[in-house]
């Protein structure tokens, strides 16, 4: 039974390479990489949408829709 565990550990030891979901760069799936599966903090933020919301804030869409009162009769 212990032999099986040993094999599993060996497989775990191999550093996995993943593609960053944002920029598709090869990223080492390492415990040191706190941004995994992303290559860097920026890519992580982009994926989370935080980066995008920082860059493009939706402006000009104020209160066009005041109420859901679209029956036509007023």
d(CA 54, CA 56): 6
Nearer to Zn ion, 8 or 48 (CB): 48
Q: Which is nearer to Zn ion, 7 or 42 (CB)?
A: 42
The interface region with Zn ion, picked from 3-11, 35-43, 48-56, 59-67 by CB under 5 A, is: 35-43
Confirm or reject binding of residue 46 to Zn ion (CB under 5 A). no
Residue 20 sits in the site that holds Zn ion (CB under 5 A):
yes
Residues 35, 57: Cα–Cα separation, whole Å = 25
Partnered with residue 43 across adjacent β-strands are none
> In this structure, what token pair is assigned to residue 31?
């415990």
Residue 39 interacting with Zn ion (CB under 5 A): yes
Residue 36 CA, distance from chain mean position: 9
| Positions that interact with Zn ion (CB under 5 A) | 20, 22-23, 25, 39, 43
């Amino acid at each position: 039974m212990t032999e099986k565990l040993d094999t599993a550990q060996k497989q775990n030891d191999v550093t996995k390479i993943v593609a960053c979901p944002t920029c598709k760069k090869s990223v080492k799936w390492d415990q040191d990489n706190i941004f995994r599966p992303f290559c860097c903090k920026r890519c992580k933020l982009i994926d989370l949408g935080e980066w995008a919301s920082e860059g493009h804030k939706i402006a000009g869409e104020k209160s066009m829709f005041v109420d859901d009162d679209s029956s036509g009769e007023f």
